[in-house]
Structure 1
Amino acid sequence: MVDYTSRRTLMVDTQVRPSDVTKFPIIDALLDTPREEYVPDRLRDAAYVGENLVLDGDRVILEARTFAKMLDAVDVQPTDVVLDLGCGLGYSTAVLAHMADFVVAVEDDAARVADAQSILTAQGVDNAAVFEGALAEGAAKNGPYDVIMVQGAVEDIPAALLDQIKEGGRMIAIFAEGALGEVRIGRKIDGAVNWRMAFNAGAPVLSGFAKEAAFSF
C-alpha cells in the first residue's frame, strides 16, 4: 500500500521548502491536501513527482515548486475571495480553500467540472464552488476578487478578466516567453494593473489566453 502521507511530506521537504517557500499557511495547506485524490487514477502513483502533471489537452496540475512559489508571491489571506482559473480536478482549489475565505473555480469542460466538484465535496472542502465557462472570461457575477490565479500559461489577458480584480487585489499567472515562461504578479492600483516578474516557470498556454495572430499582407 502506498504511503501518500509520506510522499506528501517528502514533496514539501524536497520541492517546496528548498524553493524558499516557508510560510506556515502554505506548508499547512499543502500537507493537508491529498494531491493523489485530485488526479486521474492513472496518475496517482505520479501525484508527487516534481513536474507538471498532464491531465489532458492544455490542462496540467502545476508542479509543487511552481504552485507553492505562486501562492507565496500572491500572498493569499484568510479573508480573500479567490478566482481559480483552470482548476483541473480541483487540487489548486482545495489548497487555496485551505488558505482563503472562499474560492470560485472555473473549468471549460463539463465532465471536469463535475469531477472536480465531486472530489472537493468528498474531501470536505465546503468553501469552494466549481463553475463551467470559458477560462478567459472568468466569473464576473461572483466577483470582484481579491486574488485571481491562473493554473497554466498565458500569452495575453483579456481586459474583461482584469476588470474582475478588486482595487488593491492581485493576479498571478505564468506568461509564456519562448521556452521558459515568467511568473508575473499584477496588483490593481487606481484601476490599473501593474505587473512585476516573480520567477521563471513553464506550463502549456491555456485555451483563450493565446495572443491573436497578427494579419500580414
Structure 2
Amino acid sequence: MSKTDFETARIAMVDCQIRPADVTHYNIIEAMLKVPREVFFPEKLREIAYTGEHIQVKNDRYALDPRITAKILNLININESDLVLNVAGCYGYMANILSYFAQAVVMIEESELAKEAERILGEQSIDNVIVKACPLVEGAGDYGPYDAVVIEGGVTFVPDAIINQLKLGGRIVAIFM
C-alpha cells in the first residue's frame, strides 16, 4: 500500500470504527488520525493494520483492535500532567497515542518487542516515551509512581507489583480474560 492508501485507511478506521464505537473525545480522534498505525507493525502485517480486529503479532501476543484502543483511551482520561505506565505495549502504538496527552509514558514490554518499539518511536520522533524491556508482571517501579496504568494484554488479575506503583487516586485500565 502507498502512503496515500494508508492515510485513506486511517481516515476510514476513525470514521467507520472509532466514531461508531461512541468515542467522541475530539483529542482521541485527532491523535488516531495523526498516528500512522501501520508503522507499528512488521512489514508483513502493515496492510491489515487498520482492520477492526486484534492482530496477532507473535504466537501469544496481539495488537488491540483500534476500537478497544480508543475505548481504553476514552476510559483512562489522561491529562497533560500524568505519568502513565503502558504494560504490554507491543510495538508502541498505544504509547505513541498516550504521549499526545500525558507528560510522559513508560512502556514495558518483552525484550524483542521493546527493541522494535523503541526504534519505531524514535523514528516517529516521540520524545516523552521511555521503553523498558522487563518482565511485564514487575511493572517499572524505578520510574513511578504512576497516575495511570494501561495494561494492553489480557490478564486474569493485576499483579500487586503494578498496583503498588500506582499513585493514590490513580487509574488502571485492563482487559480481563
Which TM-score applies when normalising by structure 2? 0.96
Please give the alpha-carbon distance, in whole angstroms, between the structure 2 residues aligned to 1:159 and 1:118: 30
Q: Given residue 30 of structure 1, which amino acid in structure 2 is its aligned partner? A: M
Please give the alpha-carbon distance, in whole angstroms, between the structure 1 residues aligned to 2:19 and 2:108: 29
Alignment gaps of 5+ in structure 2:
none
1:106-160 CA-to-partner distances (Å, cap 9, x unmatched) read: 012x222111101100011111010011111100010010110011211011212
Q: Given residue 160 of structure 1, which amino acid in structure 2 is its aligned partner? A: A
Match of 1:120 in 2: 121
When structure 1 is superposed on structure 2, of 42-51 and 153-162 the one drifting more is 153-162
Higher share in helix: 2
Q: CA deviation at 1:58?
A: 2.2
Percent identity over the alignment is: 40
Based on CA coordinates, which of the two structures has the bigger radius of gyration? 1
Q: CA deviation at 1:74?
A: 1.0
Please give the alpha-carbon distance, in whole angstroms, between the structure 2 residues aligned to 1:158 and 1:44: 32
Please give the alpha-carbon distance, in whole angstroms, between the structure 1 residues aligned to 2:19 and 2:81: 25
Q: CA deviation at 1:24?
A: 1.3
Match of 2:101 in 1: 99
Please give the alpha-carbon distance, in whole angstroms, between the structure 2 residues aligned to 1:56 and 1:65: 21
Q: CA deviation at 1:100?
A: 1.1
Instruction: Map 1:2-41 to 2 at 5 A.
Output: 2=2, 3-41=5-43
1:32-75 CA-to-partner distances (Å, cap 9, x unmatched) read: 11000000111010000000011002221100111101110111
Q: Given residue 18 of structure 2, which amino acid in structure 1 is its aligned partner? A: V
Alignment gaps of 5+ in structure 1:
177-217
Please give the alpha-carbon distance, in whole angstroms, between the structure 2 residues aligned to 1:48 and 1:37: 11
Aligned pair count reads 175
Which runs of 4 or more aligned residues in structure 1 lie more than 4 Å from their structure 2 counterparts after TM superposition? none
1:186-215 CA-to-partner distances (Å, cap 9, x unmatched) read: xxxxxxxxxxxxxxxxxxxxxxxxxxxxxx
* Root-mean-square deviation over aligned CA pairs: 1.0
Please give the alpha-carbon distance, in whole angstroms, between the structure 2 residues aligned to 1:28 and 1:136: 32
| Secondary structure of 1:25's aligned partner | helix
Match of 1:192 in 2: none
